[in-house]
Amino acid sequence: MIDIQASIARYLRDSGHSFIHLKAVLFDMDGVLFDSMPYHADAWVASMAKYDLPMTREVAFLNEGRTGMNTIAMIYKEKYGVEPSKELVDRIYEDKCQEFSKHPEPERMPGAYELIQQLQADGITPVLVTGSGQYSLFERIDRVYTGMFAHDKMVTAYDVHHGKPHPEPYLMGLQKAGVQANEAIVIENAPIGVQAGIAAGIFTVAVNTGPLKPEVLLNEGANLLYPSMQALCDGWQELKKALGIEH
Ligand code: MG
């Protein structure tokens, strides 16, 4: 049983805000809008193995949300104790992207489209905040989520100096949406993404769409946890009411 009221009360106490007035919802992409994480995990394991760098599917899921560059640098440094060259990082990342592209196009995450339709009906702005830098990202978003995400409000790997877990991507999402921290919520599936949302001072809803234990997301400070995007979609009217939006 999800105690939404208690979660909101805890957020307000911790953040010092006296209310949430929802104007925008900041969406992570992989594992939230697209069921793409299993393919990313496969691609990480395959490409890192070619460079004799240790990577498991679990590590891929635990580090989801970091930029590809940061993930490679972190694993390399753990093994060799020094930073990898930029050339090597670029080469491995290129390989990882190629491995990813061998998979079929990821499916839309069940419930995501219908959730965004509900937001739009209430005039709430959906905003994309991703650490991804895939070149096909805009085209795919426009095709699969037609008319839902304005390009000038999107935050991608190219917009920020610091990737998640740094708060910068979500702070920039607020800025692009023209809203304050207590006028938005974050939807995230990754531990590092939850950290970023919380660090940005935003009410952060975790959706556990992968193989991680729910505690992993709660331990990062997620304000609420749903077992899937479909569950969040189904529970949206209740959450919306609790957030004080009456339409
Ligand atoms: Mg994600």
138 alpha carbon – ligand 1 mean position (Å): 16
Instruction: Give the Å distance between the CA of 13 and the centre of ligand 1.
Output: 27
Query: Which amino acid belongs to residue 146?
Result: T
| Distance (Å) from CA 69 to ligand 1 centroid | 16
Structure tokens that stand for 164 in this block: 């998640």
d(CA 64, ligand 1 centre) in Å: 6
The pLDDT score that the predictor gives to residue 1 is 53
- Please give the distance, rounded to the nearest whole angstrom, from the Cα atom of residue 5 to the centre of ligand 1: 26
Strands 184-188 and 24-27: parallel
Output the CA 86–ligand 1 centroid distance in Å.
25
Nearest to 199 by CA among 165, 175, 174: 165
Indicate the SS3 state at residue 243. coil
Question: What angle in degrees, to the nearest 10, is found between the helix axes of 191-199 and 168-177?
Answer: 60
The pLDDT value given to residue 51: 97
pTM confidence score: 0.92
Q: Tell me how far the alpha carbon of residue 30 lies from the centroid of ligand 1, in angstroms.
A: 4
Q: 206: CA distance to ligand 1 center in Å?
A: 10
- Which pLDDT tens digits describe the chain residue by residue (247 residues)? 568 999 999 999 999 999 999 999 999 999 999 999 999 999 999 999 999 999 999 999 999 988 888 899 999 999 999 999 999 999 999 999 999 999 999 999 999 999 999 999 999 999 999 988 777 888 999 999 999 999 999 999 889 999 899 999 999 999 999 999 999 999 999 999 999 999 999 999 999 999 999 999 999 999 999 999 999 999 999 999 998 765 4
CA–centroid distance, 129 to ligand 1, in Å, is 10
**What was the pLDDT predicted at 157?**
85
* CA 166 to centroid of ligand 1, rounded, Å: 14
Centre of ligand 1 to C-alpha 220, Å, is: 14
Give distance in angstroms: CA of 164 to centre of ligand 1: 10
The pLDDT of residue 136 is 81
Q: Each residue of 31-43: b (16+ CB within 10 Å) or e?
A: bbbbbbbbbbbbb
Query: How far does the centroid of ligand 1 lie from the alpha carbon of residue 228, in Å?
Result: 13
